[in-house]
Amino acid sequence: MAKKDMIVNAIENGTVIDRIPASKSLMIVRLLGLEDDETCSVAIAVRVKSNKIGLKDVLKIQGRNLSPDEVAALGLIAPGVTLVTVRDYEVVSKTEVEIPNEVEGILRCINPTCATNFREPVVPSFQITTKKPLLLRCNFCDRVMLEENVLAQFI
Ligand SMILES: [Zn+2]
C-alpha cells in the first residue's frame, strides 16, 4: 500500500477530509464539534507533504459522516478540500468541497441584536452573495459578513 493511501484507508467507517490548507484542520474540528462528540474518533495529521498544495492537513473521522449543512459550512472555511466517505475500509465517494450558495446553522450572525442570537428556535441562515471575496448576508437581519468574520468563529 502506498504511503499516501494509508492516510485515506486507515479508517473502517467514516469521513476523511483531505487537502486541508495547512493549519486549518483545528478550525474544522471546531466547526464539526468533534472535540465534544464522543461518538467518533478523530485523527489529525498536520503539515503533511503534498505534491499538489505543498503542505496540507488531513482529518480522519472514524464513525461520523457529515450533514449537508456541515459540508456547506466546510466549503466556506476551506473550499477545495477533498471529502472522502469510507465504508468497510472502501472509499465510496470522493468530492471536492466548493463554496456553497447558502449555509444554514453552524455559523452565528455577527449582529448581536439579530433574532438568531437571542431567540433560540431561530436557526441562523445566510446567502453567499459573492464568493471572491467571500460575502454572506444574514437572512434575518441582512447584516453582511466577511470571510474573516466566518473564520473568527472557529479559531
Ligand atoms: Zn443576522
What is the Å distance from ligand 1's center to 59 Cα?
Answer: 31
One domain for residues 90 and 134: no
What is the Å distance from ligand 1's center to 47 Cα?
Answer: 36
One domain for residues 55 and 16: yes
What is the Å distance from ligand 1's center to 80 Cα?
Answer: 27
Q: Tally the C-alpha atoms within 13 A of residue 115's C-alpha that lie toward its C-beta.
A: 10
One domain for residues 106 and 143: yes
One domain for residues 138 and 80: no
Whole-number pLDDT of residue 53:
79
What is the Å distance from ligand 1's center to 79 Cα?
Answer: 23
One domain for residues 68 and 120: no
| Residue 44, strand partner residues | 59
pTM exceeds 0.75 for this model: yes
Which of 135, 132, 8, 152 is CA-nearest to residue 82? 8
User: Number of structural domains, the chain?
Assistant: 2
| Structure-block grid coordinates of residue 127 | 446567502
| Structure-block grid coordinates of residue 139 | 437572512
What is the Å distance from ligand 1's center to 144 Cα?
Answer: 8
What is the Å distance from ligand 1's center to 32 Cα?
Answer: 21
One domain for residues 54 and 69: yes
Whole-number pLDDT of residue 2:
52
Whole-number pLDDT of residue 1:
47
| Structure-block grid coordinates of residue 38 | 464522543
- Which strand ranges, in their side-by-side order, compose the sheet holding 90-96? 41-50, 54-62, 14-21, 82-87, 90-96
> Which DSSP string corresponds to 115-137?
HHHH-TTPPPEEEEEEETTEEEE
| Sign of the torsion formed by the C-alpha atoms of 110, 37, 102 and 150 | positive
CATH of the domain at 65: 3.30.70.140
What is the Å distance from ligand 1's center to 72 Cα?
Answer: 18
Helical H segments across the chain, by residue range: 3-9, 25-31, 68-77, 115-118, 147-151
Domain of residue 20, residue span: 3-96
Along the chain (155 residues), what's the average pLDDT of each consecutive run of 10 residues? 53 94 93 93 90 89 96 96 95 96 96 89 94 96 97 95
